[in-house]
């Protein structure tokens, strides 16, 4: 059911992004990347937030399941982060003429990618389960404290060529109604896709924990 709904919604978004949404004045075809790049960026941050939340809960309750959820959210987050980075670089090539030029926005997404990668290298470096859960939860929260700095402060200090993000200084949305329809459906679709994947992961984690228990009983 959820699968079918997501399939239809995301198909509609793809069709809508190319054929339904008009181009704003003076903008070229490649600006349609907006309908995929921005939702992916939003989910990257969302996944990071969810992971930080589970990390905090782990430190409070010391339940190994919570640690597994935090790791699962980060695994999905790194995927979306890659999508954001690659679509952003492609757009930058078309619009600015170079794939990468350390624009503040590019720096911040790259740092997020580094943090995600560092999180997993920390996880693989700790053998004891409890230690791994505790240390990675601490790292997740530490990194989380620095993220607002990248997203909100650095792009304000340094001039960025990046188009205004949705949360801009004037608090205005510069899209016409058709663009907004496609954009918001895409945002919903990406978020639901993430939540669906995350839910699958959670079920896998619960099932494998359950099977481990059964195995232990038989032994």
Partner 1 sequence: MFHEVWILFKKDLLQEFRSKAAINAIFLFSIVTLTAVSYSIGSHAISNFILAALLWIVIVFSALSAFSHIFLKEEEAQTADTLKLIAQPTPIFLSKWLFNTLLLTLLLMVIVPLFIAVFNFQVKNIPLLLLSIFLGDIGLASGGTIVAALIAKASRRGALFSVLSFPILLPVMVVGISAAQIAFTQEGSPLFPSEITALFAYDVVLFTTSLMLFDFIWND
Are the CB atoms for 116 and 76 separated by under 8 Å? Answer: no
Determine, following the binding rule CB under 8 A, whether residue 205 of this chain makes contact with partner 1: no
| Among positions 27, 142, 184, 209, the unique one binding partner 1 when judged by CB under 8 A | 142
| For the chain, counts of helices (H) and of strands (E) | 7, 0
| Among positions 135, 175, 192, 205, the unique one binding partner 1 when judged by CB under 8 A | 135
Say how far apart CA 79 and CA 96 lie, in whole Å: 25
DSSP string, 90-130: HHHHHHHSSS----HHHHHHHHHHHHHHHHHHHHHH--SHH
Span from 4-12, 91-99, 147-155, 200-208 in contact with partner 1 (CB under 8 A)? 147-155
Determine, following the binding rule CB under 8 A, whether residue 157 of this chain makes contact with partner 1: yes
Determine, following the binding rule CB under 8 A, whether residue 9 of this chain makes contact with partner 1: no
Query: Residue 101 burial by CB count (10 A; 0-12/13-18/19+): exposed, middle or buried?
Result: exposed
Q: How many CB atoms lie within 10 A of CB 131?
A: 10
Span from 43-51, 117-125, 180-188, 211-219 in contact with partner 1 (CB under 8 A)? 117-125
Determine, following the binding rule CB under 8 A, whether residue 154 of this chain makes contact with partner 1: yes
Binding mask 35-64 for partner 1 (x = CB under 8 A): ------------------------x-----
Span from 23-31, 83-91, 131-139, 170-178 in contact with partner 1 (CB under 8 A)? 131-139
| Among positions 6, 65, 111, 205, the unique one binding partner 1 when judged by CB under 8 A | 111
Determine, following the binding rule CB under 8 A, whether residue 141 of this chain makes contact with partner 1: yes
Nearest to 80 by CA among 121, 41, 120, 119: 41
């Amino acid at each position: 059911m959820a699968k079918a709904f997501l399939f239809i919604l995301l198909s509609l978004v793809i069709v809508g992004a190319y054929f339904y949404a008009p181009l704003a004045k003076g903008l070229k075809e490649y600006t349609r990347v907006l309908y995929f790049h921005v939702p992916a960026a939003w989910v990257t941050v969302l996944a990071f937030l969810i992971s930080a939340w589970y990390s905090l809960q782990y430190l409070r309750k010391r339940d190994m399941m919570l640690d597994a959820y935090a790791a699962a959210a980060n695994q999905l987050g790194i995927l979306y982060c890659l999508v954001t980075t690659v679509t952003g670089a492609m757009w930058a090539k078309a619009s600015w003429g170079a794939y990468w030029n350390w624009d503040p926005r590019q720096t911040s997404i790259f740092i997020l990618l580094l943090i995600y990668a560092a999180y997993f290298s920390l996880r693989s470096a700790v053998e004891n389960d409890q230690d791994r859960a505790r240390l990675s939860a601490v790292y997740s929260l530490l990194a989380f404290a620095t993220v607002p700095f990248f997203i909100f402060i650095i792009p304000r200090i340094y001039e960025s060529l990046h188009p205004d993000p949705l949360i801009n200084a004037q608090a205005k949305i510069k899209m016409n109604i058709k663009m907004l329809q496609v954009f918001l459906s895409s945002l919903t679709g990406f978020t639901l896709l993430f939540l669906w994947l995350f839910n699958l992961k959670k079920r896998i984690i619960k099932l494998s924990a359950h099977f481990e228990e059964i195995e232990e009983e038989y032994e």
